[in-house]
Amino acid sequence: MDTSFNDFNDFNKDDNVRAPDNTKVERLMEDTRSEYEKQIDEALYLSIQDFKQQEQIYKQYEDDILNEHVKIYNERKEEFKGFIFDLNKLIRLDKEIKEIYEIIEPIIDAYCEQYIKEYELDSLTYEKIFKIIGNVRTSKNAIELLKKILIKI
């Protein structure tokens, strides 16, 4: 046991430390480029900086558009959330409500995703939808908004 302790002490002796490297003095070379080459390098540098700045502006613009899209989507989805939930509960019990749900659910999704602003329906389908939905206890605001989306032709 005593030998391992001595080995450890032998390892820490200054004999195992190497000498520091010699210092070096470096000198930059003189710029021997022509004035034309210097101007080209400066123009290239400015062009790259301008490109990076434009890229950052475009990225911010894209992010703003995407954020606005998500915000509108969430607002529209929230407006119809209770209405869709109420219809979902009833489609298991009523065949007519299920048929209406299958018609208006993709239209509402397309509206929320901002693919459409309004949707044209024939007058028979339009009247049937609002006759059946009028009997459902749900948000009157969602029904009024649905009337703005669904247009009778």
Please report the beta strands in 3-141, taking only residues with DSSP state E, as ranges in sequence order.
119-121
Considering the domain boundaries, does residue 80 fall inside one?
A: yes
* Residue in the block written with tokens 């540098």: 45
Residue pointed to by tokens 């606005």: 68
Residue 90 covered by a domain:
yes
Range of the domain at 139: 39-152
Residue 31 lies in a domain: no
- The yes-or-no verdict on residue 30 having pLDDT over 90 is no
Residue 92 lies in a domain: yes
CA angle 131, 136, 139 (to 5 degrees): 110
Residue 60 lies in a domain: yes
Q: How many domains does the chain have?
A: 1
> Could you read off the pLDDT of 90-140 as tens digits, one per residue?
888 888 888 888 888 999 999 999 898 888 888 888 888 888 888 777 777
How far apart are alpha carbons 60 and 102 in whole angstroms? 39
pTM score, whole prediction = 0.62
Establish how many alpha carbons lie within 13 A of residue 150's alpha carbon, considering only the half-sphere containing its beta carbon.
24
32 domain-assigned? no
Does some domain include residue 9?
no
Residue 88 lies in a domain: yes
pLDDT band of residue 10 (cuts 50, 70, 90) is low
Helix (H, G, I), strand (E, B) or coil at 152: strand
